[in-house]
Amino acid sequence: METTWMQWYESLQKPGWTPEPVTIGFIWQLLYPLIFFSCSFVFLKAYRKKLPWCVALPFAINLLANLAFTPIQFGFRNLLLASFDISIILVTIVWGMIVIWRYHRWVTVLQVPYLTWVAIATLLQFMITWLNVFSPSLL
């Protein structure tokens, strides 16, 4: 019998400071409205030609990478690819914050909680990947 994604996740070696899945879910429930609002604003402004499309590009890449993370991590159960994907998410948040600053600084400020969480989540993902893929017992 195949294990569920939660059973699989629970079976992984994780650092002691790993938040509980319910905490992770709660944080994302707070962040998704901020992400939706800021991305919608940027895309609408770009569509109305009030922002160059190159400003919307990091937001679009970020959104796609964010949407891909869960299927990669929990569907394919691919820790290496999930680590790469979350790196893209982190880089595009910073890139987006930099390019939007000139036009709408409040959008940059709105991204700070998202950046903070993704920085923590990236470190967590790298540590989980290290512990389960590159464990010293495998080297």
* Residue 5 domain flag: no
* Residue 4 domain flag: no
* Residue 106 domain flag: yes
Per-block mean pLDDT, blocks of 10 residues, the chain (139 long): 91 96 96 97 98 98 98 97 98 98 98 98 98 77
**SS3 of 51, please?**
coil
* Residue 1 domain flag: no
| Cα distance between residue 56 and residue 118, in whole Å | 19
Positive or negative torsion for Cα 28, 30, 31, 32: positive
- The pLDDT of residue 92 is 98
* Residue 37 domain flag: yes
Residue 77 CA, chain-centre distance (Å), reads 16
The pTM score is 0.95
Give the domain extent around 50. 24-138
* Residue 7 domain flag: no
How many domains does the chain contain in total? 1
* Residue 60 domain flag: yes
* Residue 10 domain flag: no
